Amino acid sequence: MIVPGGQRTQAPRRFRLSFSRHAAMRAGMRCDLIIRDATILDGSGAPRRQSDVGVSGERIAAVGDLGAATAEREIIASGHALAPGFIDAHTHDDRAVLCGPECMLCKMSQGVTTVVVGNCGISLSPARMTTRPPPPLDLLGDESWWIFGSFGEYAERLARDPAPVNTVALIGHMSLRIEAMDGDTQRAATGAEAARMQARLAEALAEGAAGFSTGLYLPAQQYGADRRGDRGRRGAAPGGRALCHAHA
């Protein structure tokens, strides 16, 4: 992704690395795309450098001096930075990733190619709503958006209408809580309700969710039998992650 870039609305290409140190210097190389004279920041911590990048198909074929190589398309990137796509690790884009390229243009235009959704204990699944959800869940939209009774349903919708960015989805504590407690969240959960949250989290992780998130909406005394930390550890055990939005 070149910064500053053009006004592109299609999904960013997902390029994979496949080159050797000597491939970049190979005379007669033919690529689909060569980006020339870019300032490369490769994300490894190495110093920035001026170089060319050759792309064939969806693979980066060569990085280096490609003066002897040719391509179907070339971009002169002098004065521009070239870097791997950025990861926006804290978003509330649960709904936006379902709305098409236009909704993600604000991210793509800044070089973001991956977003993490479901932060702060707020996720669009697994919970259905027939009335407007209470704060903070209404951040993600009114009841017309709360139609995913499982993470699997949310993932199926995302697969059917792919987002123009990569999407990593967390399961929110508040979403689990409001479903398990039938909306009566201004109290401590019972043991049975906490068990229901744990089971729903395990189900979501099995269906492909990346982890579990908590936020700051509930006072600590209202967690009670939720045993937030215990559930977070259990959720992370199969390979998921537990993320907490907390103030120092």
Report CA dihedral (233, 235, 241, 243) to the nearest 10 degrees: -70
Q: What is the mean pLDDT of residues 38-50?
A: 94
243 backbone dihedrals φ, ψ, rounded to 5°: -120, 130
Handedness of CA 222, 139, 162, 62 (dihedral sign): negative
To which residue do tokens 């407007």 refer?
132
Pairing of strands 166-172, 211-214: parallel
Does residue 172 register a pLDDT over 90? yes
Give the span between the Cα atoms of 228 and 94, in whole angstroms: 22
> pLDDT category, 244, cuts 50, 70, 90?
confident
Give the span between the Cα atoms of 185 and 163, in whole angstroms: 32
Which run of H or E residues covers position 52?
A: strand 49-56
Pairing of strands 2-3, 81-82: antiparallel
pLDDT value for 6: 32
pLDDT value for 34: 97
Give the span between the Cα atoms of 173 and 214, in whole angstroms: 5
Can you spell out the DSSP letters for 211-227?
A: EEEE-SSS-GGGTBTT-
How many CB atoms neighbour CB 85 within 10 A?
19
Does residue 165 register a pLDDT over 60? yes
pLDDT tens-digit map of 116-145: 999 999 999 999 999 999 988 999 999 999
